[in-house]
Amino acid sequence: MACDGVASALRRLADWLALERNVAVMALAILVITMGEEMWAKFVPKHLRMLGAEAAVVGLYGSLKLRS
- What's the predicted TM-score (pTM) here? 0.54
61 burial via Cβ count (<10 Å: 0-12, 13-18, 19+): middle
pLDDT tens-digit readout, 4-53: 788 888 888 888 888 788 888 899 999 999 999 888 888 999 999 999 99
Determine the structural domain holding residue 58 and report its residue range.
2-67
Looking at residue 2, its pLDDT comes to 65
Q: How many domains does the chain have?
A: 1
- Tell me, what's the pLDDT at 65? 76
